[in-house]
Amino acid sequence: MDHHRSSTLLDEALALDWTQPRVIVIEDCVETNGAFVLHHVLKRSLALHTSSTSAVIFLAFSQPFSHYDRILRKLGCNLVTPKDNKRFVFFNLLTLECPDGDEGKTSGGLPSLYREIQKVIIALHEENRKSITIMIDDISLMEVAANGSTNHVLDFLHYCHTLTLEFGCLLVTVNHGDIYSSMERPALLLQMEYLADILIKAEPLSTGLATDVHGQLTVLNKGICEGQGNSRNRTHNFHFKVKENSVECFYPGTRT
Amino acid sequence: MAESICRNLRDGALEGEHAPALSIKDSIATPFGSDVFNYVLTKLSSNILAGKSQSKISILDCYTDPLGWKDSLKGPLDTENFSLKDPIEAVLFRHVRNLDLLLSAIIEMGEALARQGKGRFSVSIDSVTEMLRHASLSSVANLLSKVRSHASRLKIAINGVICKLDIKKVYDQNRISSTFWLLHSDLHEIRAIAALEYLSSMVGSLEPMNLSLNGQRGDLEKLSLLEQNSRKGKFHVRFKRRNGRVRVMCEDFHIKQSGINFTPVSSEEGIINQGLLPKVQFNLQLSEKERIDRAKVVLPFEHQGNGEPMHIYDGRRSLSEGKDEKASVLSENLQTNENSGKGEIIYFRDSDDEMPDSDEDPDDDLDI
């Protein structure tokens, strides 16, 4: 009951809605890992009350299936059954390597990955699974797989964006902000921030390390219509603590 | 002011001149370039959308499949920002890397529409940032300048890659002849932005309402600034006139559900000033009374201690006066010596202008 109540702060901030195409970008750093947000969204995507119409396509560049299975099991969500039912499509891309000079071609590496995903989505649509979530973990490793070609990764993200508009999917991506801290204009990071409908930043507290609070989350939700139609964006900021089986989210100072 | 931009674009160019070109620049702090773009596009095409003129919107779709990765061309065009009352035709374009091909596609589309009517088009590009991802700065600049020089005849709207809108050609009997484009200033090098600004006759840049200063701010302050910047901002426009003069105008904008609203600048200096002082628990400013009291305080070495008025040294005093003064000073000294043996500091101010605690070094006027 307690964890259900506290994670609703995160749900409120995200306002996840599969009826509209949306892009969620999660930005974290070494000091504050934002993977728990990804796991939370994954759990919510699979546990939709209209569960027969939901599906998740997971592009894993960073961890194998067993890792996510273990974590989601602790959160009370089984991944094996949906995987067998083709509701959870897992692409293990840890060893993906795009051939050199891939940018101009329409074959190999990322373009063929895109076509695979497109095929899967069309197949899911035929089975009436309309609430689809595409998750990418994570973009910086996709850049490594693309031999450092930021443009190629951005082209791939653009095509994924066309998919969200065409089929009404939710696209969730993870990136690490501090990787680009030495660059004056981190193109990949900024492009993703422009692309995002919901931008989630996981940062450490400005006061430093703490045992009770692991960090703070800032959620910028663009395009949320408020009552009088006055503001179009909604910003949330709260602290969180990652526990064994859940995440506790609370406003600063409200934790007893 | 936003109205005057649209009017400028609508009026078009005189014979033999380049078409007016507007650059809309935004950044991640105020990512509302698309809203401004849509506003301008709506204003320019208002006659078309209202069905008042025999006009057409042609779309050169560089969004759906810019690089030809898709096997089959499926999916409807997304024109959610505009209602499809009028006949809109769309042509898919799959080779955004080849700018020569792109330019000829634009011109082909424009001439087709020109043949149908009086031959005036306007071009809008959303966004040039995407074009620069696929092609070099020089080729993009080349394309834009060719469009501008062609645009005395043609007006074509090119919607590029990322946005839901696609390339449009807008043909209006009111003889519009102009072009405008959107770019994100923080995604390009300064020279690229400078080159594009040079190509445009009007540059509209969006800036956040409050420039946040990092470091001294607490988390809550950053959050409230973020919240404010997510709805409002400033819109600066620089007009380059034909005679070479530059005019700068500024307006505030506010994002509402129905779109973007422009209002004249409100004086928010008070807020800015407050923002620069760090927020601490004691009052760093002086009240009026405190200021007056401070001005009244006489510094210890400024009074003679015996109720006599201050003497201000006037270098032109004659010797006799000097002697008299000396005499009086001496007598005072004698008196005080007799009285209490106390020391006395006699201070003559150089002039009344010299403020106490002045930062000026009195040795400054020595030339050594």
Instruction: Kindly list the residues of chain A whose beta carbon comes within 8 Å of any beta carbon in chain B.
Output: 104, 106, 111, 114-115, 118, 151, 154-155, 158-159, 161-162, 165-166, 185, 187, 190-191, 193-195, 205-206, 216, 218, 220, 222, 225, 229-233, 235, 237, 252
Half-sphere exposure of A89 (CA within 13 A, CB side): 18
Which chain A residues touch B161 with a CB distance below 8 Å?
Answer: 158
Are the C-beta atoms of residues B131 and B140 closer than 8 Å to each other? yes
Q: What is the pLDDT of residue B255?
A: 82
In a domain, A251, yes or no: no
Interval A168-202: pLDDT, tens? 889 999 999 888 877 777 888 888 988 888 999 99
Are the C-beta atoms of residues B11 and B169 closer than 8 Å to each other? no
Residue B208 to residue B274: CA distance in whole angstroms: 17
> The tokens 């009285």 sit on which residue?
B339
Are the C-beta atoms of residues B15 and B152 closer than 8 Å to each other? yes
Interval B166-193: pLDDT, tens? 334 443 323 336 788 888 988 888 888 9
Which chain B residues touch A199 with a CB distance below 8 Å?
Answer: none
Q: Which residue of B has its CA nearest to A114?
A: B69
Nearest CB among B134, B189, B223 relative to A237 is that of B223
Nearest residue to A154 (alpha-carbon basis) of B67, B190, B35: B67
Nearest residue to A165 (alpha-carbon basis) of B61, B37, B214, B133: B61
| A165–B164 C-beta distance less than 8 A | yes
Q: Which letter, b or e, does each residue of A50-88 get, where b requires 16 or more Cβ atoms within 10 Å of its Cβ? A: eeeebbbbbbbbbbebeebeebbeebebebeebbeeebb
Contacts of A113 (CB under 8 A, 6+ apart): A59, A91, A93, A96, A156
Q: What is the pLDDT of residue A187?
A: 84
In a domain, A213, yes or no: no
In a domain, A137, yes or no: yes
Q: What is the number of domains present in chain A?
A: 1
Which chain A residues touch B188 with a CB distance below 8 Å?
Answer: 185
In a domain, A17, yes or no: yes
**Amino acid identity, position A73:** R
The lowest-confidence range among A66-75, A151-160, B18-27, B116-125 is: B116-125
Question: pTM for this one?
Answer: 0.74
In a domain, A247, yes or no: no
Nearest CB among B28, B226, B255 relative to A194 is that of B28
Q: What number of C-beta contacts closer than 8 Å exist between A and B?
A: 87
For residue B336, the tally of other CB atoms under 10 A from its CB is 15
Residue B133 to residue B187: CA distance in whole angstroms: 10
Rounded to the nearest 5°, which phi and psi values hold at B69?
Answer: -80, -25
Residue B130 to residue A174: CA distance in whole angstroms: 22
Nearest CB among B219, B226, B230 relative to A216 is that of B219
ipTM for the complex? 0.81
Calculate mean pLDDT across residues A199-213.
86
Q: What is the pLDDT of residue A160?
A: 92
In a domain, A230, yes or no: no
In a domain, A31, yes or no: yes
Q: What is the pLDDT of residue A134?
A: 93
Q: B162 to chain A nearest CA, in Å?
A: 7
In a domain, A228, yes or no: no
Residue B55 to residue B58: CA distance in whole angstroms: 10
- pLDDT at residue A33 greater than cutoff 60: yes
For residue B84, the tally of other CB atoms under 10 A from its CB is 11
Half-sphere exposure of A174 (CA within 13 A, CB side): 24
Q: Which residue of A has its CA nearest to B134?
A: A151
Q: B109 to chain A nearest CA, in Å?
A: 24
| Residue-range definition of the domain harbouring residue A150 | 9-195
Task: Please state the separation of Cα A18 from the chain's center in Å.
Answer: 14
Q: What is the pLDDT of residue B165?
A: 32
Q: B231 to chain A nearest CA, in Å?
A: 6
Q: What is the pLDDT of residue B356?
A: 59
List domains and CATH numbers for chain B: 1-156+166-210+222-264 (3.40.50.300)
Q: What is the pLDDT of residue B120?
A: 63
For residue B149, the tally of other CB atoms under 10 A from its CB is 14
Which chain B residues touch A151 with a CB distance below 8 Å?
Answer: 133-134
Interval B29-64: pLDDT, tens? 888 888 888 888 888 777 666 655 556 677 788 888
| A104–B133 C-beta distance less than 8 A | no
A233-237, A249-253, B157-161: which is most confident: A249-253
Q: Are strands A247-250 and B168-171 parallel, antiparallel or unpaired?
A: unpaired
Q: What is the pLDDT of residue A251?
A: 85
The beta strand positions in chain A, using DSSP E, are 22-28, 54-60, 88-92, 131-137, 170-176, 198-203, 215-222, 233-242, 247-250
Q: B219 to chain A nearest CA, in Å?
A: 7
Which chain A residues touch B257 with a CB distance below 8 Å?
Answer: 225, 229-230, 232
Spans of chain B, pLDDT less than 70: 13-17, 47-56, 71-89, 113-121, 150-177, 211-221, 266-279, 301-341, 349-360, 365, 368
Q: B253 to chain A nearest CA, in Å?
A: 12
- CATH number of residue A132's parent domain: 3.40.50.300
